[in-house]
Structure 1
Amino acid sequence: MLKRLSPKYFSSNVRCIYHLSRIKDISVGKHKDGDKIQLKGWVKTIRKMKDNVFLDLNDGSCATNFQLALSKSLLRETAYGSSVDVCGTLERTAKNQQELKVDKLRELGKCPLSEGYPFYPKKSYAPDYIRNYLHLRPQNSTISSTLRVRHHAVKCFTNHLEKEGFFQMHTPIITSNDCEGAGEAFLVKPASRQLLQMISKKDVPLEERYFDGPSFLTVSGQLHLEALAHGLGKVYSFGPTFRAENCKSPIHLSEFYMLELEEAFLDSLEELSNRIESLVKSATKSLLDVAVEDVALVREKSTTFTIEESFAWLEKPFPRISFREAINVLQQNKSKLKGTIQPENGINKEQELFLVHHFQSPVFVLSWPKLIKSFYMRECEHDSDLVDALDFLVPHVGELAGGSIRENNYSKLEARLPDHDSLRWYLELRKFGSITTGGFGLGLERYLSWVLNVHNVKDVIAFPRWAHNCAM
């Protein structure tokens, strides 16, 4: 009597004959016609002909679906969405395209559409609908392309900064300060009340006993990066930040990722603007080199502009204007704006987008009023009512990055410090070997929303969090 072979035996022995590969490797020419290949992935379409069946397979490695040709006898009950393990030989179609002539097909997991699967073949769905199924939406081709672009974008940013001599740092997620001072921080405390009672300390409120004071999820790693820059010179972080906002805006999240950079001895807004412009252009050019197929797939859902037209800004210098010049441009065009212009409140999103449209380019707005900017920004040498701060505005999202030269005058910083107890250490940086530093924060989700022309940042992060929404 023949012994029944387990799937594990089947899989290991298949690898002795067939080379386990991925669709991306085939698409870039790593395999030639006649090679015996094993692929694993998900069925995206099925086309049944008289004698044969054609499946389009995707394994997540790239945007391309790969055609499988097989006899009807091999298909059995395999349907759209099923996961499969296939083995066969690479051949050419009549149109000179590669396909896999399947010798063996094993279904790994069924996908019963009738039991509640939310995505049907050859149907398009609105982002709001897809967002209801965060655990399944990576199976949507647009979302999977978006997430691959996100991966490559992070790599392109970090590669550029490494070439420029920056060190990547891990700033704390739990912190004792609210960097922006806007009161938008999440309070951190243990879930166990029993633990808090066990570590009780005289004169410390119960809610603050774990760290002997209030602690928060970070809203920015900037202050810690400044401390690191005082010893390492050029540093950056690329981590999650958190804001407790009751906001349904398409450009806001409660948890998002921010590229934050701090550079020692950087002394002017011109240098800082150049740093941001160089980073954005270099990273985007690299992104288009490695992920243009995914970028194009996502963009085609919302625009008819070609890649070349959409990224013409890569070859143009970005204008730099002062805050006062920006207000003058807005005042001269107020009939084209819906809202009122209130310089004492800054520049709102409608006005940001108008400035970008007016200059037909991403644009830097420099030298902002001190009263509407943060305590750590350096007072302008030529005008004490202004600070050396900038906002970098881009199409579609408005503010992409904000930065400044940091105040390194001990007395001036001390006068503006919002909390002397928790920020005493920050003031001491101006006491021991003080230097000028400058830096900025750039929102990854906003960057992706811009380059992919996606209208809501909730659709460029795998598991978005916002007020009343923390699924999974």
Structure 2
Amino acid sequence: MFSVASSAAGHRRILSSIRHYCKRAPKKLRISEAVSGSELGTNIKVQGWVRSVRPQKKNLFLHVNDGSSTKHLQIVASSEQSDPLLTFGSAVEVTGVLKKSTHQKQPFELEAHQIHVIGECNPVDFPFKIKDRHSMEYIRQFPHLRCRTNVFSSLLRIRGEASTTIHTYFKENGYIQIHTPIITSNDCEGAGELFHVEPPSMETDENFFSVPAFLTVSGQLHLEVMSGAFSKVYTFGPTFRAENSQSRRHLAEFYMVEAEVSFMQSLEDLTKVMEDLFKSVTEHVLAQCAEDVDLFHKHVSPGHRDTINVMLTKRFPTITYSEAIDILNHSSEKFIFPTQWGCDLQTEHEKYLVKHCGNIPVFVTDYPYDLKPFYARHNKDDPEHTAAAVDLLVPGVGELCGGSLREERLDVLRARLEEVGLEHTYSWYLDLRRFGSVPHGGFGLGFERYLQCILGVDNIKDVIPFPRFSRSCLL
């Protein structure tokens, strides 16, 4: 007969076995946790990819990384654990004891008990070589593999941290996040560079959505809808431009940070938000991703850290469009594009103005009214016929942000829409001015251009995981 005593004894043996297993089972760590030394003397398990292999007569040395840190964890094993499949690029799982290292550059190392090759990699065919420092242009040819390189894995960690910090900034400053649509019927910018959306199986001449639909070029007009109920709103998502461009600063798909603020009375109020956002996010990213940023400032853009430090310590100056044209016309620079009043500023003009102002970001305000979209507020008392619009120009990139006060006066807006032939298309937009309209303004910041600016990256295709541009849509 089964007794209570025997049952209790069996239960104790099971608990003892569980405790023994838990005590001996390796603790799984990320490489960033392992290299910190917080689990020194502990039996651990790490998983990652081999970044270097160095076999010796008695020992085998590996460097392993899992993408969580710029640092690699050195693995020390007996030569008996050497495996022909253990090559540069292969995926491994390693268990062992974390110990102090005698090498100054790596305070901790993993003394391996077991190395298991999970995924093979032929180093001959692998496009990245173990001792080579590949250029950004070279690794760009392999969008499906470039995340395996040190420089691009650093870029992705920085990008992720910057994205999180932008959301945190807006949340801490009282903004409501709005998910604006990717498919839309409006052309916010009025430039006509739109991707048309339509299913291929439509058998009639009617549109799927009953009206022409496009991939969004901006979430601004949808944010303006929301600014009729919330004083501060923002969105952060993909936008699309069908520009037939192969330039270093344009993409067909990119990410935009856009904000709209109600009860905003002046461009100065708007530029304060733009400058504070730039500086707050940059300071945080430099602090939290110090090693990743240093990799760029050391190997990709030497000396760029000094430029960033100046940006963060100096107040961004403001000049009017008219002053900008005067500066360009009095310069000794030979510009390709004209610089008379009324022309749009080109990249060459923007970069010169930044340099002229001390190589720090500069706000250019009060553009000619005819250069700006219908929603920009008309400076009625300005004899030069200007709009309350502003661009933020930054070193190495040119235009980073564009914004304006929005035209809240119903009669002025209606006249403007009639002038450009959009009064029927945007009748709903006029309703926003009819029902509780207030002075408001907003801006958009190109996220990829922001990363170019703080890291000193020359080509915008090198700061986005999968670049989309004219005649290129790999993966």
Q: Same fold (TM over 0.5)?
A: yes
**Matched letter for residue 90 of structure 2:** S
Between structure 1 and structure 2, the one with the greater Rg is 2
* Cα 1:166/1:251, change in 2 over 3 Å: same
1:64 match: secondary structure: coil
Report the Cα distance in structure 2 between the residues aligned to 1:29 and 1:268, rounded to whole angstroms: 53
**Matched letter for residue 356 of structure 1:** V
- The answer to whether the Cα contact below 8 Å between 2:35 and 2:109 also exists between their aligned partners in 1 is no
Report the Cα distance in structure 1 between the residues aligned to 2:210 and 2:307, rounded to whole angstroms: 56
Q: 2:232 pairs with 231, 234, 238, which one?
A: 234
1:382 match: secondary structure: coil
- The answer to whether the Cα contact below 8 Å between 2:37 and 2:108 also exists between their aligned partners in 1 is no
1:133 match: secondary structure: coil
2:128 match: secondary structure: coil
**Matched letter for residue 127 of structure 1:** M
Q: 2:156 pairs with 125, 134, 147, which one?
A: 147
* Cα 1:299/1:422, change in 2 over 3 Å: same
Query: What displacement does 1:306 show?
Result: 6.5
1:216 match: secondary structure: strand
What's the TM-score once normalised by structure 2's chain length? 0.91
Asked if 1:395 is matched to 2:398, the reply is no
* Cα 1:421/1:340, change in 2 over 3 Å: closer
- Identify the range of structure 1 (377-386 vs 230-239) with the bigger mean alpha-carbon deviation: 377-386
Asked if 1:103 is matched to 2:113, the reply is yes
Q: 1:54 pairs with 22, 37, 61, which one?
A: 61
- The answer to whether the Cα contact below 8 Å between 1:259 and 1:442 also exists between their aligned partners in 2 is yes
Query: What displacement does 1:437 show?
Result: 1.1
- The answer to whether the Cα contact below 8 Å between 1:408 and 1:434 also exists between their aligned partners in 2 is yes
**Matched letter for residue 196 of structure 2:** L
Asked if 1:93 is matched to 2:96, the reply is no
Report the Cα distance in structure 1 between the residues aligned to 2:23 and 2:377, rounded to whole angstroms: 63
- The answer to whether the Cα contact below 8 Å between 1:82 and 1:107 also exists between their aligned partners in 2 is yes
Query: What displacement does 1:30 show?
Result: 3.2
Report the Cα distance in structure 2 between the residues aligned to 1:337 and 1:64, rounded to whole angstroms: 45
1:445 equivalent in structure 2: 448
1:466 equivalent in structure 2: 469
- The answer to whether the Cα contact below 8 Å between 1:176 and 1:422 also exists between their aligned partners in 2 is no
Asked if 1:454 is matched to 2:464, the reply is no
Query: What displacement does 1:126 show?
Result: 3.0
**Matched letter for residue 176 of structure 1:** S
- The answer to whether the Cα contact below 8 Å between 1:156 and 1:284 also exists between their aligned partners in 2 is no
2:382 equivalent in structure 1: 383
What's the TM-score once normalised by structure 1's chain length? 0.91
Report the Cα distance in structure 2 between the residues aligned to 1:95 and 1:128, rounded to whole angstroms: 34
* Cα 1:122/1:14, change in 2 over 3 Å: farther
Asked if 1:37 is matched to 2:44, the reply is yes
Report the Cα distance in structure 1 between the residues aligned to 2:277 and 2:284, rounded to whole angstroms: 11
Report the Cα distance in structure 2 between the residues aligned to 1:465 and 1:335, rounded to whole angstroms: 34
Report the Cα distance in structure 1 between the residues aligned to 2:200 and 2:288, rounded to whole angstroms: 44
Query: What displacement does 1:127 show?
Result: 2.6
Query: What displacement does 1:288 show?
Result: 1.1
- Identify the range of structure 1 (20-29 vs 142-151) with the bigger mean alpha-carbon deviation: 20-29
- The answer to whether the Cα contact below 8 Å between 1:185 and 1:217 also exists between their aligned partners in 2 is yes
Query: What displacement does 1:128 show?
Result: 2.9
Report the Cα distance in structure 2 between the residues aligned to 1:132 and 1:298, rounded to whole angstroms: 19
**Structure 1 gap segments, 5+ residues each:** 1-12, 201-205
* Cα 1:308/1:34, change in 2 over 3 Å: farther
1:304 match: secondary structure: coil
1:17 equivalent in structure 2: 25
Asked if 1:185 is matched to 2:183, the reply is no
* Cα 1:269/1:55, change in 2 over 3 Å: same
2:353 match: secondary structure: helix
- The answer to whether the Cα contact below 8 Å between 2:304 and 2:456 also exists between their aligned partners in 1 is no
Report the Cα distance in structure 2 between the residues aligned to 1:407 and 1:15, rounded to whole angstroms: 68
Report the Cα distance in structure 1 between the residues aligned to 2:408 and 2:381, rounded to whole angstroms: 16
1:404 equivalent in structure 2: 404
2:180 equivalent in structure 1: 171
2:88 match: secondary structure: coil
**Structure 2 gap segments, 5+ residues each:** 1-20
Query: What displacement does 1:49 show?
Result: 2.7
Report the Cα distance in structure 2 between the residues aligned to 1:439 and 1:30, rounded to whole angstroms: 46
* Structural RMSD (CA): 1.7
Query: What displacement does 1:298 show?
Result: 2.2
- Identify the range of structure 1 (122-131 vs 456-465) with the bigger mean alpha-carbon deviation: 122-131
1:427 equivalent in structure 2: 430
Report the Cα distance in structure 2 between the residues aligned to 1:304 and 1:350, rounded to whole angstroms: 23
Aligned length: 447
Report the Cα distance in structure 2 between the residues aligned to 1:306 and 1:17, rounded to whole angstroms: 47
2:370 equivalent in structure 1: 371
**Matched letter for residue 354 of structure 2:** V
Quote the sequence identity (%).
42
2:250 equivalent in structure 1: 252
- 4+ residue stretches of structure 1 with deviation over 3 A? 13-16, 27-30, 306-310, 334-340
Report the Cα distance in structure 2 between the residues aligned to 1:181 and 1:136, rounded to whole angstroms: 38
- The answer to whether the Cα contact below 8 Å between 1:299 and 1:454 also exists between their aligned partners in 2 is no
